[in-house]
Structure 1
């Protein structure tokens, strides 16, 4: 696996691959790789002749400078983890490669970017859309792989590629979880031992709420119960806990179509997110028709 740091070097390689008629997959990351990232790399290697993994901690998607400063930088261990998977290039551009002096363009996606993390982190998805557009153009990728844990991000990138007629196909891949159910995230490394033992409550609470809602329970009451369970378990605050339609991410108060429960909550100074699907009901009972099931 080559480690490449400049656009010029990268394009020289991809042009050679194109002349050979080879397909290209890309896995965009900010590093601190875990099994979730590696599952994306594994799938990309299975579906493409050549694979590029990108590593760039993108300052434009952080609205909190302290959060950016704390984000783990682990290039050496990331490269070591990638070695068995067969990726061809680890692309590690610096800030000057991505945002040279005079850079003045922002890519913005409306609709699916609004609310959820888009509401809690102003400007976040503009930063995501801008860097992803640049990475697609720099890598000349046929396919790009994103995890469903960041489901709103997946929908933003999908909308972006469709709206701008980009050739890159967006491939969503299932959330990879720890044995105790916690969705894998680079931010998990920042949890102390005690909070780390509490964190899996997220998946349990979301699963319970999704089950209640899918059986016809009232959405508002199920969400209230879930919030109470999280705070009782030791979570500090909850940024959001909402039912949204899939894939357009419209706010839902009744489970009358397929949707997802989305959560962002703070624990030990770390912001954790997760989501689970909720099956839509053909006919949603009224409260009088169907008493609330306990969460």
Structure 2
């Protein structure tokens, strides 16, 4: 009955709000489980096409680098014929566990817009009408930025990381035979991290709305933000400067966009007041 009985938010107690939050979380989790089941059934596509796609020489990113190399007159220096490593499972339940957790991760990515929708439904009753209007398109913008980050992580960060780390050797005596858990953790971290990092403009929008951030603050600490961006880039990319720069550039662009958004929010607040 608690899930179907709708109360006025102004007269809801703390426990009522917790109950409301619980049902939003249950519905969001159910959405992740449903999409996760779909991903579990689509095992061949999820693993053979998506997960192990960056391991294959014909991956679109490698083709693009190869064409760029030829265009710049570098022969085939950026062309990859074979990545010198293999993926193996060394645990009895290794492949089954990986199948389960990868399906849940895929379910989270696919259900992300609905998760945002449930989050929005929970906080919307506490907002004024003008705040709801100014936040119109929240789900669409957040979902777009998240999926844009996921694509960036999958097509840029993941292949760069796999190519660098997969071909790195301290000695020819040591073969690169990665455990499937380690390989998928790299793909998962690259994709999810980039998806969340690309939400930076939205985060700055809400921080500005509640008065924690101003355009002046963002401009003043731009240098510190650059250092933080480079640290984040170093965490989610292989340890080479080129990859870190590739990640840092879009994040810095997002930071500058955040300054513009923060300025627009402040300007609108001053007009209203």
TM interval, short-chain normalised: under 0.3
Q: Higher relative CO (CA 8 A, sep ≥ 6), structure 1 or 2? A: 2
* TM-score, normalization by structure 2: 0.26
Structure richer in helix, relative to its length = 2
